Amino acid sequence: MPADAKPRWVTVRAPFDYRWKGRDAITSFTEGDLGEHLLKAEVADFAVDGGYATEGKVDGSAKSRKGRGKRAKVKKDPPAAADAQPSTPVGDKDAADADRAADRPAVDADAG
């Protein structure tokens, strides 16, 4: 098997185990794994030659979206304006803000 063989789509129709050559590894397809898979060429060859899978996808018109560019972006609304924060006093952090009438110096209404 050439090292540059490309993976391909197969439709797994029956469970099977593939024992990797030169390794202590097994790729197992169970009842829950039946269906379309993109497999390495050597696994695809084994599955098709053994009658466990058929070449291609069930629906040939179905295409993979992997690597097909970017999806259309959904425009988001601009963030809402932040609520106006009350002014903070400059200087002493414990000083009251002079914007409130209760904080202003009292003026006698009778003063002249």
Query: What's the average pLDDT block by block, 10 residues per block, for the chain (112 residues)?
Result: 78 92 90 90 93 84 51 70 63 64 62 58
In angstroms, rounded to a whole number, what is the distance separating the alpha carbons of residues 6 and 12? 18
Domain boundaries, the chain: 8-55
Q: What is the value of pTM for the model shown?
A: 0.49
In angstroms, rounded to a whole number, what is the distance separating the alpha carbons of residues 94 and 88? 10
How much is the pLDDT for 53? 93
How much is the pLDDT for 76? 75
DSSP string, 49-61: HTTSEEES-SSTT
